[in-house]
Structure 1
Amino acid sequence: MTWLKEILGTEKAIIAMCHLLPLPGDPYFNNEKGMDYVVEMARKDLHALQEGGVDAIMFSNEFSMPYLTDVKTETVAAMARIIGELMSEIKVPFGVNVLWDAKKSLDLAAATGAKFVREIFTGVYASDFGTWNTNVGETIRHQHRIGAQNVKLLYNVVPESAAYLAEREIESIAASTVFNNRPDALCVSGLTAGAKTDVQLLMRVKEAVPNTILLVNTGVNFTNFKEQLSIADGAVVGTTFKYDGKFENHVDVDRVKKFMDKVKVFRDNL
């Protein structure tokens, strides 16, 4: 039994994104509506996702654009407040992602009881956010120092809006990441949130590390989910669940239900 089955209750799991609005300190934070509005919009999306039947939810500061790689304390504090206020209403397993700061994601997980985090744990990149370095050895030691050793780590090996500084084949990246770090899952992405993940890329990663859980990280939708989930072990879904399938919109419960109904039929026929 994989940890997906043990913790999320199913194989081919769908982890739904609960994208938080801009937070205090972010350029687009709405000072007039304040944090109460952010909490209420998060509550609305949470309930829509749960009512729609998703397997798990991941909270992220998706609209803290442009992203930092050394996230400020006020961002983590705001995310902790939101999750804390919603805690009694969360009915499915949940994870967190503080974009793009692996240590802060673990801090938030430890504070809230999140079951998993998704982050860029390894590699050095040229990105839209500047040169992006990581220190996985220190990050994992931090995980153990704060008592978060049971938090599952989802390693994003194809970061959005970034590329390895050194030219490396994806098979090499996947194999060395698994050998050196023992990730709980690898996530493979498209260029940005909502962008389709290349099927050939998925296949190459799965062939390189067949015994590691592989998640499609972006771009899973009504037309391609069967193809994607026939290769991957699960998917992280955000944009598809929103009104009109647009990244900037809130969650549409009818779209969630329709999508999850199709996924459940697919899973039943495996």
Structure 2
Amino acid sequence: MTWLKDMFGVEKPIIAMCHLQALPGDPHYDRAGGMAKVVDLALHDLRHLQGGGVDAVMFSNEFSLPYLTRVRPETTAAMARVIGELHRDIRVPFGVNVLWDPIACIDLAAATGALFMREIISGVYASDFGLWNTNVGDTARHRAALAPALRMLYNIVPEAAVYLGNRSPVDIARTTVFNNGPDALCVSGLTAGAETDTQVLAQVKAAVPDTAVLCNTGCRIDNIERQLAVADGAVVGTTFKIDGRFANLVDPERVRAFMQRVRSVR
């Protein structure tokens, strides 16, 4: 897709997740380490992701478990502080993901200069976080008011949730594109790190050939060639971490090996 190439400078970009530790107000926040620890660990991961050659980074409050569908102000404020402190070290295009609140995501993007965001922006779901509703009309208008150039990545197969109604991902993709004009669609597995079904990915791409479709979870060095044969790019997090475990910090050797594989196939 043209905008992907223009923004990231490559075909089939790899957007690396920079997972922030639990933040003030989160159940697992490390009060002893405080925000200084959150910043230090985010900087550790950012440097190793960029050093390994990723095409972009996306900052998310991944360890704010269990997630809210409308975050509290302290979460957005804490994320803005982290990104602000890291700003001089960011050398690649960056985006934001405030789990799971698209309005807060736009607020954060406007405050930090993020170029793109990923969120659950449309649809209604039964989820581990309760009944999960959205208001895409409000979200689109909020972007128009605060950050009209912000690219919006719509996650249409959200993790830990199921669409309310008997609709396939292909049907959801078609109507999402028609009604909302997303910059990209993200297709996911069951949870962070869970492999995305390549068949579903291919079906969605065939249904909306003029819209960017990203593989959103579960990309690994042994499946990335297959996923990029279909997808226009990928969002990658867990596989970059020590031992490929979600809770760990980024392993620079895993990043380098993965990106070397990507460069050999794209």
Which TM-score bucket, shorter chain as reference?
A: over 0.9
- 3-state SS of 2:258 partner: helix
Query: Which TM-score applies when normalising by structure 1?
Result: 0.98
Matches within 5 A, 1:255-270: 255-267=254-266
Aligned: 1:158 with 2:157: yes
Q: Which residue of 2 aligns with 1:135?
A: 135
Aligned: 1:74 with 2:74: yes
Q: Which residue of 2 aligns with 1:6?
A: 6
Matches within 5 A, 1:186-225: 186-225=185-224
CA distance in 1, matches of 2:219, 2:169: 20
CA distance in 2, matches of 1:230, 1:2: 17
- 3-state SS of 1:126 partner: strand
Return structure 1 stretches of 4+ with deviation > 4 angstroms.
none
Q: Return 5+ residue gaps in structure 1 as ranges.
A: none
Give how far 1:265 is off: 1.1
CA distance in 1, matches of 2:141, 2:112: 19
CA distance in 2, matches of 1:4, 1:86: 24
Aligned: 1:236 with 2:235: yes
Letter in 1 for 2:95: G
CA offsets per residue over residues 69-117 of structure 1, 9 Å max, x none?
0100000000000000000000000000000000000000000000000
CA distance in 1, matches of 2:57, 2:183: 17
- 3-state SS of 1:142 partner: helix
Identity of matched residues, %: 63
CA offsets per residue over residues 45-66 of structure 1, 9 Å max, x none?
0000000000000000000000
Letter in 2 for 1:260: M
Q: Which residue of 2 aligns with 1:177?
A: 176
CA distance in 2, matches of 1:4, 1:28: 35
CA distance in 2, matches of 1:4, 1:260: 17
CA distance in 1, matches of 2:12, 2:145: 32
Q: Which residue of 1 aligns with 2:96?
A: 96
Q: Which residue of 1 aligns with 2:86?
A: 86
Give how far 1:11 is off: 1.1
Aligned length: 266
CA distance in 1, matches of 2:105, 2:209: 27
Q: Which residue of 1 aligns with 2:247?
A: 248
Q: Which residue of 1 aligns with 2:39?
A: 39
Matches within 5 A, 1:21-32: 21-32=21-32
- 3-state SS of 1:178 partner: helix
CA distance in 2, matches of 1:157, 1:225: 20
Letter in 1 for 2:262: V
CA distance in 2, matches of 1:8, 1:140: 23
Give how far 1:129 is off: 0.2
CA distance in 1, matches of 2:144, 2:122: 17
Letter in 2 for 1:75: T
RMSD: 0.6
